[in-house]
Amino acid sequence: LGTSRDQMLADLHSGKAKYSSIFNYPTLSWADMGCVGWLVDGAAILNQVPLCRTSYGPYARAMVRVCKEESFHQRQGFEVMQTLCEGAPAQKEMAQEALNRWWWPTLMMFGPADDASPNTEQSMKWRIKRFTNDELRQKFVDMMVPQAEFLGLTVPDEKLHWNEERKAYDFGEVNWEEFWQVVKGNGLCNADRLQARVQAHEEGAWVREAANAHAAKRRAREAVAV
């Protein structure tokens, strides 16, 4: 709040501003497109649907539109994965390989564990967040494991099993060292992603300048007409 667009872009390009850690992982095959849609957008939906009822009205109203778009992407991703899994053995193998790479980074999307999260307690107190990071992570696992089984895929977690007492899945520990390294800018693609963003911004400067010049001429014409 209270930050200009130019300042936000400057913070992003300098590496000061944080963005979703998932974008710092490479996409290596066609199956990745489907897997990212299925898992990553599925995680985004779990994060964002509760925000439709957050205590901050403008954010809540914006999330309604965002969730509709994310739902489309998630369904599209699942359909891509289903098509691959129903195809040739090499296609299903490609789908499994994508799941192997994207499963754990997707679990990291929900943020650090509750006992290591610097913002969860205050966000819950203000009702900005309605569920903790670990609660959302658990919901995600419980939702996605049956979908993976339906596709005939194996979730890459040796500790994954159904806990009848909890009526939920127990699962392994996220690699938090990897998580924090990516957050700090040391992930596989952090530098490349920022470099591409800065380059696009610089090469698009002429478009912004032309748009501003056109707007200035239009305002001048309207002033004369009045």
Greatest mean pLDDT among 64-78, 95-109, 177-191: 95-109
Average pLDDT, integer, range 105-126 = 89
Residue 12 domain-assigned (yes or no): no
Average pLDDT, integer, range 119-135 = 87
* pLDDT score for 125: 86
pLDDT tens digits for range 26-46: 999 999 999 999 999 999 999
CATH of the domain at 29: 1.20.1260.10
Confidence category of residue 68, pLDDT binned at 50, 70, 90 = confident
Residue 95 domain-assigned (yes or no): yes
Confidence category of residue 178, pLDDT binned at 50, 70, 90 = very high
Total number of domains constituting the chain: 1
- Are 100 and 156 contacting, i.e. CB atoms less than 8 angstroms apart? yes
Two tokens, residue 131: 């569920």
Residue 150 domain-assigned (yes or no): yes
* pLDDT score for 21: 86
Kindly tell me if the per-residue pLDDT of 128 is higher than 90.
no
* pLDDT score for 20: 86
Query: In sequence order, which ranges of the chain are alpha helices (DSSP H)?
Result: 5-14, 30-35, 41-48, 57-85, 89-108, 120-125, 133-151, 176-183, 190-203, 205-225
Residue 205 domain-assigned (yes or no): no
pLDDT more than 90, % of the chain: 74
- Residue 186 phi, psi dihedral angles, 5° rounding: -110, 25
Residue 210 domain-assigned (yes or no): no
Question: Can you give the residue range of the structural domain that contains 50?
Answer: 20-185
Which neighbouring-strand residues pair with 161?
170
pLDDT tens digits for range 141-171: 999 999 999 999 999 999 999 999 999 999 9
* pLDDT score for 162: 98
Phi-psi region of 152 (alpha: psi -120 to 50; beta: other; left: phi over 0): left
Residue 198 domain-assigned (yes or no): no
* pLDDT score for 82: 98
* pLDDT score for 74: 94
Distance CA 99, CA 111 (A): 20
Residue 62 domain-assigned (yes or no): yes
- Are 156 and 99 contacting, i.e. CB atoms less than 8 angstroms apart? yes
> Which residues make Cβ contacts (< 8 Å) with residue 188, sequence separation at least 6?
24, 25, 26
- Residue 125 phi, psi dihedral angles, 5° rounding: -60, -40
Which neighbouring-strand residues pair with 90?
none
Average pLDDT, the chain: 93
Residue 207 domain-assigned (yes or no): no
